[in-house]
A and B are shown apart, each in its own frame.
Chain A
C-alpha cells in the first residue's frame, strides 16, 4: 500500500477543484483511503491521516470515524502524534461524544509527563473541553500543577482550574489553598491567569468573595500590582503601544470591580488607583481606550465617590467625540447603562448624544436613539422631540417602528400641552405612518378620546391628512375612527385652535367611501371606515346615502365587512330605536397599562408584551370558528362550546359589533378582555380542544397517577403531577414526604438531579420536619423542563436527622408514569 498523500498535498489538490461536486468526489476518495488505513492500524501514518481528516472536517465534511484514532494518537509516545491527537480531540471529541471519557486516562498520564509541553497539551485540552466527569477525576492533578514552580505549567493550570470550577462548582474550595501566593509571582502569564482564576471564584461564590476581601486582603495586592504596571518603565516583553501589559491591567480592573461592588472599604481602597489610571492612560490608540473603558465600568459599579463618578462620565463624554467609531459605540452603550443612576451627569452630554443620531453607522444610531429616549424629560421635551422627529424622517426603516413607539411614549409622559401632543402624534403618523406598531392605533384613539377639548382640532387635522395620503394604514385607521366619532364637529367648523375648514357631509362621506373602495386599504381599515360611516348616521343628516353604502356592503366578499354591513342594516331596519343610543359618543376610556420611563430604554421590541395584546383576539377567533364548523358537521344544537377564546362577551344583539370594537381597544372598563389564552396557541389547534371545558390540561393532570418514589425506613415520598399551563414542556411535581416511624425526622432536606437534557427547579419546601406517625407531611414543588420529551429519570438525595443521628440516602427514581413526560 503506497504511503498516504501528505497533508499539504491534499490541501493543494482539493483547492484545485472547480466545483463543489468535484471537491466532494476528491474528499470521498481520500476519506475511503483514510478509512482503510485506519482499519489496518497503521501507526506510522495515523498522524498524517488524522491531520487530513481535520482539514476535511473544517470544510464541513463528516469526520466522526476519526474519533478513536485521535485517542490512539494521544496515547502514542511521539510528540507529533500527541499534538495532532489532542488537536483532533478538541475539534471532534467534545463532551457530547460517547468516547470522550476514554481520554481521561491519557490526559491523566500526560499531566504527569516529564516533558512540560506534553503536560501543556493535556492541560490545554482539559481546560478547553473537559467534561464534568473528567474535571472531577482530574481536578487533583490540576491542583497539584497549580502549586508547581514552573510558570509555564502554572499559568495553564490556573486556567484549567477555571474551567474545572465552571463545570463542577463544588470543587472550587479545593483550589483555594493553591491561590495563596499566586499574586506574588513575577511572571505575567501566571499573574494574568491567576487574576482570571480569582475572578471566577469571586463571581461564583459570595463566601469566596468575602474571604478574599477580608482574609486575603486582595485589594491592596491588586492595587500594588496595577500601580507597578503603570509606573514601571518600558518593558519590551509586555509593551503594547507604550502601555505595559494592558491585558493584565484590564483583568485586574475587572477583579477590582467585583471586589469593590457593594463594599465600602474595598471601594475606598481602590479610589486612588482608579483615578490614577483614568487620568494617566494614554488615549491615542485603541488599547489605552480599552483600559479607560474598563476603568469607567469599574468606577460605575463600585461605591466610588461622586468626584470619581463624574470623572468616569466625562471620560465617556470624551469618547463620544472620538473619531473612532468603536469608541463612540462603546461610550453610548455604557452611557445607556449609567443613565438611570447618574442621570444628571449624562444629561450634560445630551447634545453630543443627539448629534450621534446623525452618524452613518447603524449600530451607533441605534444606541444614540435608545439613549436619547432615556434622556427625555419634562425640561427638554420640545427640543429633543424636534431632533427625534427629524431622525424619524430620515432613518432606516428598521428603526422607524422603535423610534415611533419611543416618541409616543415620551410624548405621553412629558407632553407640555395637549395640542403639542396631538401635533406630535400627527407628525409621526404622517411621516412614519406605515411603520408604527399595530397597538399604537388603539392607544392613540384612546388618547384622542380623552383629550376632550381637542376633538375638533384633531379631527380636522386628521381629515386634512387623509386628503393628502391614504396609504399609511395606521394613520387612516385613526383618522376614520375620529371622523366617525367627531364628524359633526368637523362639518360644523368648530375648531378653535386653527382656522376651521369648510367641509360638507358629502365630502366627508366621499372620503370614507373612498377608503372602502381603495386598493391601498387593508381589510382592517375597511372595517374601520364602514363603522365610521355608520356612526355618522346619528351625526349627519344624509341618512339615505349612508343606508345605501351599508346595504351595498351587505354582499361584500370580505366576510368581516359583510357581517358588519348586515348587522348595521339590521340596525337601520329592525332596531332603529336603539341606533342613536348605540352609536353615541364614546366615553372616556381608562388605560390598561402604562409604561414607565425605565421601559423607554427597553422599548425596542418590548412594548407588545406590556400592553394587553390585541393581537391575541384576532388569532383566537380562528380556532373558534373551526370549532364552530365542527359543531355544524356534528349537527349538535345542544352543545354549547365553552370556548373562552372568542371575543369576550358577545351578546347576541345587534350591538355586538360595537362592543366588539371596544374589545379591540384593550380597555378595562367595558367587557373583560380575554386573559392569556389557556389553550396554548403554540400547539397545532386541536379542533376538539375548544369544545371541552377549561382548564384543559388539568384534566390530563388528573389522569397522571401519583407515584411512590421512595419508601424506606419509614420515610415515604410520593410524587403528584401537574402540567404547567403556559408551557407544556414543564412538568410540575409535588413531593409529599411522610414518616411512619414513632420519632419525627428533622432537618429534612430533599435534593434532586436529572439528566443533562432536563432542567430542574426546586421551590422551597413547606417545612423541614416530617412529623412522626404520618401526622403530617412535608411538601415541596419541583419543576422539570423536558423540551426533548425524553423519559424522565431522577436521582434523589435525602438527608435528615432521626432519633438524634443523621441519615442520608440516595435513590434512583425511574418509575415515572409515561404521561408525566410525554
Chain B
C-alpha cells in the first residue's frame, strides 16, 4: 500500500559543507512530486456487509482504481474470516486494520503503525453514533439508500483521515444546515423512501 519509502528528497551529509537548515535540500518539484514516505493518519475507511458488499469507501491516499479494488477485496476477505470473540485488530502489510461490526455492517479502517487502535475504535463508534442521530436508529438499508448522506456526514466528521469536530451536536447542526440549503427537497428527503 505504502509504496517505496526511499529517500525522496536529496539529502546532503553533514560534512558536505552546505549551510542549509536541517541539511535537507528544499526542492522545487515544479510539475513533479515525490511520494513522501510517512503519513501518520488513517489510510482508508470502508463499510461492507456480511456478504462482502461495499457500502461506503473513503480513501485518504491517492491510489489507482485497480489497487483500491484489490484492497477492498483483501479487507473484506480478511475481516469476514475473523472468528467471533477475537480482538478487533489485524495486521495487514505494514498497517494496522481496526474493524468493528455493527449489526450487519462492518466498519473497517487502516492506520499507521504509530496510531492508537483503541482510539480508532472510538472514532468508528462516533461515526456510527452520528449516523444513528441523523437517521434515527440507523440500519444498513439507510446507508444503502442514502449513501450520499453517509458520505456527507463522514465529511463533516473526518477530513484527510483526521477528526475535524469532536462534538456530536456540532456535526449534526452542520449537516442539518447544509440539508436546508438544498434546493430540491423532494430529491433528497432526510428520511429514506423505499
User: Smallest Cβ distance from B161 to chain A, in angstroms?
Assistant: 8
Residues of A within 8 A of B148 (CB): 7, 51, 54, 83-84, 87
Residues of B within 8 A of A297 (CB): 116
Residues of B within 8 A of A362 (CB): 86
Assess the A751–B25 pair: CB atoms within 8 A: yes
Assess the B33–A326 pair: CB atoms within 8 A: no
Q: How far is the CA of A79 from the CA of B184 in the complex (A)?
A: 10
Of B4, B122, B155, B187, which one neighbours A124 at CB under 8 angstroms?
B155
Question: In this assembly, does A398 line the interface, its C-beta being within 8 Å of a C-beta of chain B?
Answer: no
Question: In this assembly, does A718 line the interface, its C-beta being within 8 Å of a C-beta of chain B?
Answer: no
Assess the B122–A58 pair: CB atoms within 8 A: no
Question: Using a CB-CB cutoff of 8 Å, which residues 142-160 of chain B contact chain A?
Answer: 144-145, 147-148, 151-152, 155-156, 159-160
Assess the B90–A207 pair: CB atoms within 8 A: no
Question: In this assembly, does A329 line the interface, its C-beta being within 8 Å of a C-beta of chain B?
Answer: yes
Assess the B145–A11 pair: CB atoms within 8 A: yes
Assess the B34–A78 pair: CB atoms within 8 A: no
Residues of B within 8 A of A91 (CB): 57
Assess the A79–B183 pair: CB atoms within 8 A: yes
Residues of A within 8 A of B136 (CB): none
Of B28, B86, B87, B122, which one neighbours A247 at CB under 8 angstroms?
B122
Q: Say yes or no: A117-B174 contact (C-beta < 8 A), given A206-B22, A238-B166, A325-B86.
A: yes
Question: In this assembly, does A749 line the interface, its C-beta being within 8 Å of a C-beta of chain B?
Answer: yes
Assess the A768–B118 pair: CB atoms within 8 A: no
Q: How far is the CA of A327 from the CA of B29 in the complex (A)?
A: 44
Assess the B25–A193 pair: CB atoms within 8 A: no
Closest A residue to B56 by beta carbon equals A58
Residues of A within 8 A of B30 (CB): 753, 795
Closest A residue to B129 by beta carbon equals A240
Residues of A within 8 A of B34 (CB): 753, 756, 759-760
Q: How far is the CA of A200 from the CA of B41 in the complex (A)?
A: 10
Assess the B10–A762 pair: CB atoms within 8 A: yes
Q: How far is the CA of A60 from the CA of B68 in the complex (A)?
A: 11
Q: How far is the CA of A133 from the CA of B23 in the complex (A)?
A: 25
Question: In this assembly, does A237 line the interface, its C-beta being within 8 Å of a C-beta of chain B?
Answer: yes
Question: In this assembly, does A294 line the interface, its C-beta being within 8 Å of a C-beta of chain B?
Answer: yes
Question: Using a CB-CB cutoff of 8 Å, which residues 53-108 of chain B contact chain A?
Answer: 54-57, 59-60, 62-64, 69, 85-91
Residue-wise, chain B 183-194 has the 8 Å CB interface mask toward A (1 for contact) of: 110011000111
Assess the B167–A237 pair: CB atoms within 8 A: yes
Q: Say yes or no: A363-B86 contact (C-beta < 8 A), given A8-B194, A87-B151.
A: yes
Q: How far is the CA of A770 from the CA of B93 in the complex (A)?
A: 46
Residues of A within 8 A of B32 (CB): 753-756, 795
Q: How far is the CA of A158 from the CA of B28 in the complex (A)?
A: 24
Of A80, A152, A287, A764, which one neighbours B182 at CB under 8 angstroms?
A80
Assess the B119–A80 pair: CB atoms within 8 A: no
Residues of B within 8 A of A361 (CB): 85-87
**Chain B interface bracket (under 10, 10 to 19, 20 to 34, 35 or more):** 35 or more
Q: How far is the CA of A762 from the CA of B10 in the complex (A)?
A: 5
Question: In this assembly, does B16 line the interface, its C-beta being within 8 Å of a C-beta of chain A?
Answer: yes
Assess the B36–A760 pair: CB atoms within 8 A: no
Q: How far is the CA of A51 from the CA of B150 in the complex (A)?
A: 13
Q: How far is the CA of A124 from the CA of B152 in the complex (A)?
A: 10
Residue-wise, chain A 85-116 has the 8 Å CB interface mask toward B (1 for contact) of: 00100110011100000000000000000010
Question: In this assembly, does A652 line the interface, its C-beta being within 8 Å of a C-beta of chain B?
Answer: no
Majority-rule SS of A interface residues: helix
Residues of A within 8 A of B168 (CB): 237
Residue-wise, chain B 154-184 has the 8 Å CB interface mask toward A (1 for contact) of: 0110011011111111100010011001111
Of A192, A325, A360, A797, which one neighbours B166 at CB under 8 angstroms?
A192
Closest B residue to A293 by beta carbon equals B118
Assess the B182–A83 pair: CB atoms within 8 A: yes
Closest A residue to B29 by beta carbon equals A753
**Chain A interface bracket (under 10, 10 to 19, 20 to 34, 35 or more):** 35 or more
Closest B residue to A118 by beta carbon equals B181
Question: In this assembly, does A55 line the interface, its C-beta being within 8 Å of a C-beta of chain B?
Answer: yes
Question: In this assembly, does A188 line the interface, its C-beta being within 8 Å of a C-beta of chain B?
Answer: yes
Q: How far is the CA of A54 from the CA of B121 in the complex (A)?
A: 28
Residues of B within 8 A of A320 (CB): none
Question: Using a CB-CB cutoff of 8 Å, which residues 12-53 of chain B contact chain A?
Answer: 12-13, 15-18, 21-22, 25-36, 39-40
Q: How far is the CA of A162 from the CA of B60 in the complex (A)?
A: 13
Assess the B11–A762 pair: CB atoms within 8 A: yes
Q: How far is the CA of A15 from the CA of B21 in the complex (A)?
A: 59
Residue-wise, chain A 297-320 has the 8 Å CB interface mask toward B (1 for contact) of: 100000000000000000000000
Q: How far is the CA of A80 from the CA of B181 in the complex (A)?
A: 8
Assess the A764–B167 pair: CB atoms within 8 A: no
Closest B residue to A196 by beta carbon equals B162
Of A95, A189, A196, A767, which one neighbours B167 at CB under 8 angstroms?
A189
Q: How far is the CA of A360 from the CA of B87 in the complex (A)?
A: 10
Q: Say yes or no: A156-B118 contact (C-beta < 8 A), given A79-B181, A756-B32, A797-B28.
A: no
Closest B residue to A257 by beta carbon equals B114
Assess the A162–B116 pair: CB atoms within 8 A: no
Residues of B within 8 A of A163 (CB): 159-160
Of A83, A199, A237, A768, which one neighbours B16 at CB under 8 angstroms?
A768
Q: How far is the CA of A96 from the CA of B160 in the complex (A)?
A: 17
Most buried by A among B7, B54, B116, B121: B116
A-B contact list, 24 entries, CB within 8 Å: A7-B187, A8-B145, A12-B194, A54-B147, A58-B147, A80-B184, A91-B57, A127-B160, A129-B59, A129-B62, A131-B62, A133-B31, A156-B159, A193-B164, A247-B163, A293-B118, A326-B117, A361-B87, A363-B89, A752-B10, A760-B8, A760-B34, A761-B10, A785-B6
7 closest A-B pairs by CB: A762-B10, A290-B118, A764-B13, A325-B87, A189-B165, A79-B181, A132-B33
Residue numbers of B with Cβ under 8 A of A are 4, 6-8, 10-13, 15-18, 21-22, 25-36, 39-40, 54-57, 59-60, 62-64, 69, 85-91, 116-119, 121-123, 126, 144-145, 147-148, 151-152, 155-156, 159-160, 162-170, 174, 177-178, 181-184, 187-188, 192-194
Q: A78-B183, A84-B148 are in contact. List 6 more A-B contacts (CB 8 A).
A: A8-B193, A58-B147, A133-B31, A254-B116, A753-B30, A762-B11
